[in-house]
């Protein structure tokens, strides 16, 4: 499993709860964070190398726990994984399926990074469901960095969040896809602004269910017996990853190994 930083740990948390018997290896590309405003061509090259590194470590399934990486580079990851006979679970399609299923008024919002919005990945995934949905996408260029930095919530933070939510409120969406794995950390703030009637769809539950289906369908799932391991790699500062990652994962982090991509 990999992400641009620690946001994907919200996905890992759900996988650890849903599939406690499996072993997980998580790579946070903190040296390159954030992906949301990087050159897509550069990101695709990096995603290919990350996929190769994780497969070299023995991964039987590759999970892209990053919305931007899924949006701009999932095909590269699939090519690298397919050469090893390994399947890929991205984060976009599972979220889109859930959002399309639960919206009552067929108005779905997407809050995501600029690269994710520009890619049109969520719009395509929602259109593929065939429900004739109205999709409103909002780019939030500063939100992921704010969350990863652990900045304090204050008046300016609320003003930023309200500016991102305003187009969603005007469009009267009843379902909002949190299109970045960092965003569940500020879900209470977004819920307060949008109101309780707007349902938030995060990547964690959706991806964990997709991982379980994929492993069981391919005969790679372990028996539900005991607890597996979970280990961490990062490309930046290991101490910072450990400190911030513990907050995101809501479980203890052991040693973090630094790697170069």
Any idea where the domains of the chain sit in the sequence?
A: 2-90+205-258, 92-202
Specify the pLDDT at position 146: 84
Please name the fold of domain 2-90+205-258: Rossmann fold (3.40.50)
- Candidate CATH numbers 3.40.920.10, 3.40.50.300, 3.30.379.10, 3.40.50.1860; the one for domain 92-202: 3.40.50.1860
Triad 73, 78, 84: Cα angle to 5°? 140
What is the tens place of the pLDDT at every residue in 60-75? 999 999 999 999 999 9
Give the HSE-up count for residue 4: Cα atoms under 13 Å, Cβ half-sphere.
26
Question: In whole numbers, what is the pLDDT of the chain averaged over residues?
Answer: 93
CB atoms inside a 10 Å sphere around CB 108 = 29
CA distance 176 to 199: 6
Specify the pLDDT at position 30: 95
Specify the pLDDT at position 48: 98
**2-90+205-258 and 92-202: identical CATH topology:** yes
Catalytic residue among 15, 165, 180, 234: 180
pLDDT in 10s for each residue of the chain, 261 residues: 999 999 899 999 999 999 999 999 999 999 999 898 899 999 999 999 999 999 999 999 999 999 999 999 999 999 999 999 999 999 999 999 999 999 999 999 999 999 999 999 999 999 999 889 999 999 999 888 888 877 667 788 889 999 999 999 999 999 999 999 889 888 999 999 999 999 999 988 889 999 999 999 999 999 988 899 999 999 999 999 999 898 888 888 989 999 999
Listed in sequence order, the DSSP H helices in 62-113 are 67-82, 92-102
Catalytic residue among 66, 165, 234, 238: 66
* 165 given a catalytic annotation: no
Specify the pLDDT at position 152: 65
Contact 23, 12 (CB under 8 A): no
């Amino acid at each position: 499993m990999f992400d641009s930083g620690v946001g994907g740990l919200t996905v890992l948390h759900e996988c650890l709860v849903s599939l406690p018997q499996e072993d997980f290896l998580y790579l946070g590309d903190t040296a390159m964070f954030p992906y949301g405003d990087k050159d897509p061509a550069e990101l695709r090259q990096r995603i290919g190398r990350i996929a190769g590194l994780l497969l070299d470590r023995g991964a039987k399934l590759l999970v892209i726990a990053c919305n931007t990486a899924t949006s701009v580079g999932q095909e590269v990851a699939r090519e690298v994984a397919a050469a090893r006979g390994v399947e890929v679970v991205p984060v976009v399609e599972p979220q889109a399926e859930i959002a399309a299923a639960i919206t009552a008024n067929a108005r779905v919002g997407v809050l995501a990074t600029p690269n994710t919005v520009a890619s049109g990945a969520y719009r395509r995934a929602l259109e593929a469901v065939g429900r004739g949905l109205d999709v409103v996408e909002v780019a939030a260029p500063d939100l992921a960095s704010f969350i990863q930095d652990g900045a304090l919530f204050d008046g300016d933070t609320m003003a930023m969040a309200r500016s991102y939510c305003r187009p969603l409120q005007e469009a009267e969406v009843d379902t909002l896809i949190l299109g970045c794995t960092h965003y569940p950390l500020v879900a209470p703030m977004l819920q307060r602004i949008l109101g309780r009637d707007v349902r938030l769809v995060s990547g964690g539950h959706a991806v964990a269910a997709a991982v379980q289906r994929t492993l069981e369908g391919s005969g790679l799932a372990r028996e539900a017996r005991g607890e597996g391991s979970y280990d961490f790699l990062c490309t930046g500062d290991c101490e910072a990853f450990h400190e911030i990652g513990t907050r995101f994962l809501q479980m203890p982090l052991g040693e973090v190994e630094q790697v170069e991509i």
